[in-house]
Structure 1
Amino acid sequence: MSSARMLTGDRPTGRLHLGHYVGSIANRVRLHQRYESFFIIADLHMLTTRNSRADIEQVAHNAREMVTDILAAGVEPERATFYLQSAIPEVGDLNTLFQNLITVPRLERVPSLKEMTRDAGKDEMPYGLLGYPVLQAADILCVKGQVVPVGKDNAAHVEVTREIARRFNHLYGEVFPVPDMLMSETPTLVGTDGAGKMSKSKGNAIALSDDAATVRRKVMGMYTDPNRVRADVPGTVEGNPVFEYHDIFNPDRAQVAEFKDRYRAGRVGDVEVKEALATALNRFLDPIRDRRARIEAQPGLVDELIVTGTERTRVEVRRTLVEVRRAMGLSSAYAQVRRRAERYRKAVATSA
């Protein structure tokens, strides 16, 4: 394993699904074998778009589900440090210090923030969402993360982190590594309804934890070619979610190629193609289900991993914050004031 540190993670908003697996989890499973890996449960980031009391009350449950899904997908607990963001208040201190190293116009140029505002159904961008990349910089740099897996859509966020690290080092001395981005295609998986990417909130997702019957039901209800009213009508394969899933999850390439030829020629029905997809997906998910069952058979295991990881991470973050305050001169400022106050107290006591 490399000595370099990797920081990655998710917001605890619910169980993970096939879209998460394709977009990030599969990559993390590979990378965590190579790097010292920190997995953030980013509940403070969740508050930028979901901050009701009901949302917050679900954090603990969703955190357990999220970590369980990640472990079930193949991340080994002894090679990963999971931590709850809100349980480390020192990250907020670092965020406050970083806010002065970036400008509002620079943050307004981060393209994904407007998308996040729109997707959250908000008319205006919350202050916290504008500062999302700054808090993300605190997340990465608080553990001195050196590599960050990122897709093209989120590269602009990590570029802000790189700028903040360089700016801090220029002003106060070399404290932070400038993290490298581990670029990946992070393909977007279309939802079962064919309307945009897979999302639990849209009800078009297949969860990693779904049982075989649920997967089959969802697959059989998937959107296909709307112009194909009968099995003998030639159909369109390109842009058809059923075939997109076959391409990703069905290892029987000969079967997929045959289905495509027959579908284009009007010689196979949607039911047969979907049945084969349900079988392929369930074969793919079976090992994940088995690992999840073993984890769930040990109540409290995931909680222990989160607590142990959070305590370990907080030690790291406190060490980083001490170094930051020392480099900036903030520690000496209060020390000077305190020494003068102590001399004053002694003088008052002597004259009394």
Structure 2
Amino acid sequence: MYVERIVSGMRPTGALHLGHYHGVLKNWVKLQHEYPCLFFVADWHALTTNYDSPQIIEDSVWDMVIDWLAAGVDPSQASIFIQSKVPEHAELHLLLSMMTPLGWLERVPTYKDQQEKLSHKDLSTYGFLGYPLLMSADILIYRAKYVPVGEDQIPHIEFSRELVRRFNHLYGREPGFAEKAQEAVKKLGSKKAKLYEELRTRYQQEGDAAAIGQAQALLDEVQHLSNVDRERLFGYLEGTGKMILQEPEALLTEASKMPGLDGGKMSKSYGNTITLREDEESVRNKIKKMPTDPQRVRRTDPGDPEKCPVWQLHQVYSGSEVKEWVQKGCKSAGIGCLECKQPVIDGILKEQAPMRERAQMYLDDPQLVRNIVADGNEKARKLAQETMRDVREAIGLGYN
């Protein structure tokens, strides 16, 4: 039942740029070959900060999916879907909101940070306060094992883990749970049952964290257990109740090393981006117009690459030989700034070429994208409905 599944999403708020590729999409492409992956368009999340201008969301959804496909996300390896097409996200969000302490939401670090950064927007809404809860619902509805995040998002994963513990504690206590769990232990067979009990004791009495991992691995080996018994044994192991929701783990991803055209972080709000499928001539012009070391006023003036935004792009796109050429040529005024920029232009265009090629098929036939997403919606919804059936039953809403 508990598959090592990955869930990740992105808000459709405009064209994706190379910072998105290096910070998120490149990692998705790698992960899709290692785990079952679900990647979703977080259109409801986009409404938390763009509720007054939803047109940008509608305009961005399909273009963003094409960008994902262009970057190498493979619909035969990963499910691509739209959040709002799986209404179970909203139902789980609502049910979790009934048991989530208000203080938990107010203490999420990004709540105050975002309010300060986006002070020009009205963020005094429940949607904004509750977005970490919706984010948790997005993860928990698929019983995801891993969520790829940057360091700044780790508090969101910890928030989700706390929610799971609270939910399982409140609603996992079915009548006669201990007796039913003991009956399930017997089904393991005498040898495995004895080992399970030893590991359970080590974890509960001695706090041995390794024991819980070993016990979970033991349960994963047993093929003949029903899902219900498996859930009971997971819960009995930890001393809670039946494990209805699974605690996710953060899969830490490296921060994007993609600098913007001004040397700062590449961001649409800073106006320093190159989009994933930007026209070649536009890329050339943007790089040629990039600022350089302010000390190099004339071609004959020596410069310092460390003080030049172009040097940061060389870190991403150039090999050791080119970087050595830049260092020597810049410091001795042996090369001009336009010469220095050419390898960066070549590197970016080379990276973008396969993206443009992959995207063309979907631009020529937009129905292909619609079909991929419709298929992903269906797969995601099936998984979400299974979770919600168990959640409703645990809460006492399973009546017909």
1:216 equivalent to 2:284? Answer: yes
Q: Provide the C-alpha distance between the structure 2 equivalents of 1:239 and 1:41, rounded to a whole number of angstroms.
A: 38
Q: How does 1:251-330 map to 2 (within 5 A)?
A: 252-330=319-397
Q: Where does residue 179 of structure 1 map in the other structure?
A: 248
SS in 2 for 1:181: strand
| Contact 2:313 2:344 (C-alpha < 8 Å) held by counterparts | yes
CA distance in 2, matches of 1:305, 1:119: 36
Q: 1:295, 1:42 → 2: CA distance?
A: 21
Q: Encode CA deviations 1:38-69: one digit per residue, 9 max, x unaligned.
A: 111001100111112xx423434311111111
TM-score scaled to structure 1, two decimals? Answer: 0.87
Q: CA RMSD in A?
A: 2.0
Q: Give the alignment partner of residue 229 of structure 1, picking from 278, 297, 322.
A: 297
1:80-159 aligned at under 5 Å gives the runs 80-120=78-118, 121-122=120-121, 124-159=123-158
Q: 1:330 deviation in Å?
A: 2.6
**Structure 1 letter corresponding to 2:251:** L
- Out of 56, 69, 72, the position equivalent to 1:71 is 69
After the TM superposition, list the runs of 4 or more consecutive aligned residues in structure 1 that deviate by more than 4 angstroms.
Answer: none
Q: Which position in structure 1 is the counterpart of 2:199?
A: none
Q: Secondary structure at the match of 1:77?
A: coil
TM-score, length basis structure 2: 0.77
- Cα distance in 1 for partners of 2:305, 2:160 equals 41
Q: Deviations over 1:292-351 (max 9, x none)?
A: 11332333111111122112222222221121011112335xx6xxxxxxxxxxxxxxxx
Q: 1:287 to 1:99 in 2, by over 3 A?
A: same
Q: Is the 8 A contact 2:3 2:144 kept in 1?
A: no
* Corresponding letter in the other structure for 1:51: Y
Instruction: Report the AA paired with residue 171 of structure 2.
Output: Y
How many positions carry a matched residue from both structures?
Answer: 328
Rounded to whole Å, the distance in 2 between the matches of 1:60 and 1:79 is 26
- Residues 305 and 326 in structure 2, CA contact (< 8 A), matched pair in contact too: no
Aligned mates of 2:259, 2:125 — CA distance in 1: 28
Q: Is the deviation greater in 40-49 or in 265-274?
A: 265-274
Identity %: 39
1:164 aligns with 2:163: yes
SS at match of 2:327: helix
CA positional deviation for 1:155: 1.3
Superposed displacement of residue 278, structure 1: 0.7
Change (3 A) 1:261 1:3: farther
3-state secondary structure, aligned to 2:348 = helix
CA contact (8 A) 1:3 1:35 kept: no
* Residue-by-residue CA offset, 1:190-212 (whole Å, 9 max, x unaligned): 32123x42122432110111121
Deviation sequence 1:107-149 (CA, Å, 0-9, x none): 2332223332333323654322221111000001111111110
Structure 2 match to 1:338? none
Q: What SS does the corresponding residue of 2:391 show, helix, strand or coil?
A: helix
C-alpha distance in 2 between matches for 1:90 and 1:256: 51
Q: Quick one: which amino acid aligns to residue 346 of structure 2?
A: T
* Unpaired stretches in structure 2, ≥5 consecutive residues: 173-242
Q: Tell me, in whole angstroms, the C-alpha distance in 1 between the residues paired with 2:313 and 2:388.
A: 46
Distance 2:101 2:308 in 1: 43
CA distance in 1, matches of 2:290, 2:113: 26
Q: CA deviation at 1:77?
A: 1.1
Distance 1:105 1:189, change over 3 A: farther
Of 263-272 and 32-41, the range deviating more from structure 2: 263-272
> What is the SS of the residue equivalent to 1:321?
helix
Rounded Cα–Cα distance in structure 2 between residues aligned with 1:329 and 1:270: 69
Conserved? CA contact 1:91–1:142, under 8 Å = yes
Partner-residue secondary structure (3-state), 1:8 = strand
